[in-house]
Amino acid sequence: MRIATFSVGGERRVGLVDLAAGEVRPFDLPVDAAREGILALIERGSVPATLSPIALDRVALEAPMPRPRRNIFCVGKNYHEHAHEFAKSGFDSSAAAGAVPKEPIIFSKVPETVIPNQAKVLIDAKVSTAIDYEAELAVIIGKGGRGISKEKALDHVWGYTIVNDVTARDLQGRYSQWLVGKSQDTFCPMGPWAVTKDEIDIGNTAIRCFVNGDLRQNSNTGLLIFDVPTLIATISAGLSLKPGDIIATGTPAGVGIGFNPPRYLKSGDVVRVEIDGIGALENRFEDIAA
C-alpha cells in the first residue's frame, strides 16, 4: 500500500493513494488520530475502511509522519563509495579509524527538521554556507522492541519512505559531531508518502538524486554496508525502538562534498530524490531572507 498524510479542507487526513487513478481515499479515522499521520495506522494495528476518493491535485501532501515523536535515527557512511568520498573531504571526524566503518555510525536529527514534499528548505547564510544533500531510504518501525535480533528485525518494520538528510557541512566539521549540522530548521524533507514493507525489495531498490535535473547520486540499497536488519539490531541493543520510529539508512556517493571543488546548494536549487517503488521527493532551497 502507498499511504499519504495530507490536508484538505483545513483538516489533516491519512489515505490510500491510487496513482493510476490520481486520487487518494481517506481512511475512516478520527480527526485527532489523523493529526499523527501514518502513526495513527501503525498504532491502530489494522487498516480501517476508506471513504470517498479525492483527486490528488486537490490535496496538500504533508510528510508521512508530520512530527515524529522523537529524533530520527540516522546512519553515517553506509555506502562504500560514499564512505571513501566523505573520508577524503576533511569533514569526517571518524576518518582516523578508517574510511569504511567497522560498526554502524548512528546519529540523529531532531523532529522539528521534518518538512513535506514541495516545501522550501531554508538556507541561512549567516549560519552556514556549505549546504549539502543526501538521498536516503528511511525505515518506519511498526513494532517496538529492545534487543531485536537481525533474524527478526524485519518483523518490526512497518514500511519505508524517502528522506533528504540535508546537512550543513561547515557546522558538521566545526563541532566534530553531526547533530547541529543535521538539525537545522527544514533540514529533513520527507515523503511524498510512505509504502508498506511489502511494496519494495530493500535488498535491490534503486535510489537517485538530481540537483536542478543533473543526476548526482545513482545507487541501490543492495549496496548498503550495514543492511536494515543490522541497523535495527544495532540501535535496539539496549535502546528500545518504538512504533513510529524512523531510521534513515545512509546516503550513496555523489553528495556535494564529494566533488572538487564541492558543489554546495544555493538559493533556487531544486533537489529531487527518487526511490523505485516509493516515488519522488522534491524540494526547492531558498535563502531565508527571500
Domain boundaries, the chain: 2-62, 72-287
Q: Per residue in 83-98, is it b (16+ CB within 10 Å) or e — as a string?
A: bebbbebebbeeeeee
Residue % of the chain over a pLDDT of 70: 94
pLDDT-based confidence at 93, cuts 50/70/90? low
Residue 129 has a pLDDT of 95
Cell numbers 513510529 correspond to 244
Cell numbers 548512528 correspond to 106
- Give the pLDDT mean for 195-204: 96
The rounded mean pLDDT for the chain is: 94
pLDDT-based confidence at 267, cuts 50/70/90? very high
pLDDT tens for each residue of 52-83: 999 999 999 999 999 999 999 999 989 887 66
Q: pTM score, two decimals?
A: 0.94
**Which has the higher per-residue pLDDT, 136 or 91?**
136
Residue 98 has a pLDDT of 63
Q: Are 132 and 265 in contact (CB under 8 A)?
A: yes
Residue 173 has a pLDDT of 86
Task: State the architecture of 72-287 in CATH terms.
Answer: Alpha-Beta Complex (3.90)
